[in-house]
Structure 1
Amino acid sequence: MNKFIYIIIFGIIFYSCNDENCYIQDVYVNEVIDLSLPAYNKISTEGNSMFIDGGVEGIIIFHGIGNNYKIYDRNCSYEPCLPCSKIDSVESGIAYCGCCTSVFDINNSGNPINAPALLPLKSYNYILDNNILRIFN
């Protein structure tokens, strides 16, 4: 009888452990953007941004001052495993997640400026060479 009780308790303990790790996945990113094409006119102006495909949930390209760009994944850092957890709008260097209402400063470092998110957005590297923007990780 004692073995049966131990098996039940042991089973409950393991069943209650959640093995799901909710984090922004690492995916291969290597996007090449020709900024001279009309499709990318929006980000030719400082302070503008646009979404492109790639990354986990898409990529945000933000044109900072001069030839400085900020590149982030659209996946929100707060509960990134949720299907709705992605940046859905950007205004004046501020990115908004409509799922959890987190707000991020993408003009600087992608850090959250409004809870519940505590971690910054995932950033990507870039190289700008003769109007060709290469985004990679």
Structure 2
Amino acid sequence: MALAVASLPLLASCAGNSEAQPQIPLTAFNEVLYLTDQQNSALRFDNGAVYHAGGVRGLIVVRQNASTYLAFERTCTYNSADTCARVKISPFVQLFDPCCKSQFNFQGQVQGGPANIALRRYQTSLSGNVLTITN
């Protein structure tokens, strides 16, 4: 009986560690993206996505509709300390990390793979053809 009680904290700590994932560091930034630039032409259409500077390992910006844009951290939420944990835009209309095989939709939600936390989302503000992304 004492053995079962003594091992209970050990089991609880192991269970807690299985859910623990390295945290993505916070970084302050203020990025401006001009929607009229040719490099951002994918953002002229709903569900278009582009890479942009900012964040920890870069940003992915997705157009939801003409007035709504989302910006996500490219660092994958699963094993984020791994140097290859970098989310990419898939030609098959999703975001994915080729390292751990996690998949995310264009709202940043987990769709498959080992990740169980959505992509970090940053604040966006649209003024005319200028999109500002901040943290």
TM-score per shorter chain, which class? 0.7 to 0.9
1:130 is the counterpart of 2:128: yes
Cα distance in 2 for partners of 1:125, 1:93 equals: 22
Aligned amino acid, residue 133 of structure 2: I
| Match in the other structure for 1:89 | 89
The structure-2 alpha-carbon separation of the partners of 1:91 and 1:69, relative to structure 1 and needing over 3 Å to count, comes to farther
| Match in the other structure for 2:65 | 65
Percent of residue pairs bearing the same amino acid type: 25
Q: Secondary structure at the match of 2:121?
A: coil
Q: For residues 1-137 of structure 1, what are the structure 2 equivalents within 5 Å? A: 22-91=22-91, 93-106=93-106, 108=107, 110-137=108-135
Structure 1 residue 66 displacement after superposition: 2.7
For the aligned residues, what is the CA RMSD? 1.5
| TM-score normalized with structure 2 length | 0.79
| Match in the other structure for 1:9 | none
Contact 1:95 1:104 in 2 (8 A): yes
Aligned amino acid, residue 84 of structure 1: C
The structure-2 alpha-carbon separation of the partners of 1:92 and 1:127, relative to structure 1 and needing over 3 Å to count, comes to farther
Cα distance in 2 for partners of 1:83, 1:46 equals: 31
Moved over 6 A (4+): none
Whichever of the two has the greater Rg, that structure is: 1
Structure 1 unaligned blocks of 5 or more: 1-20
Structure 2 unaligned blocks of 5 or more: 1-20
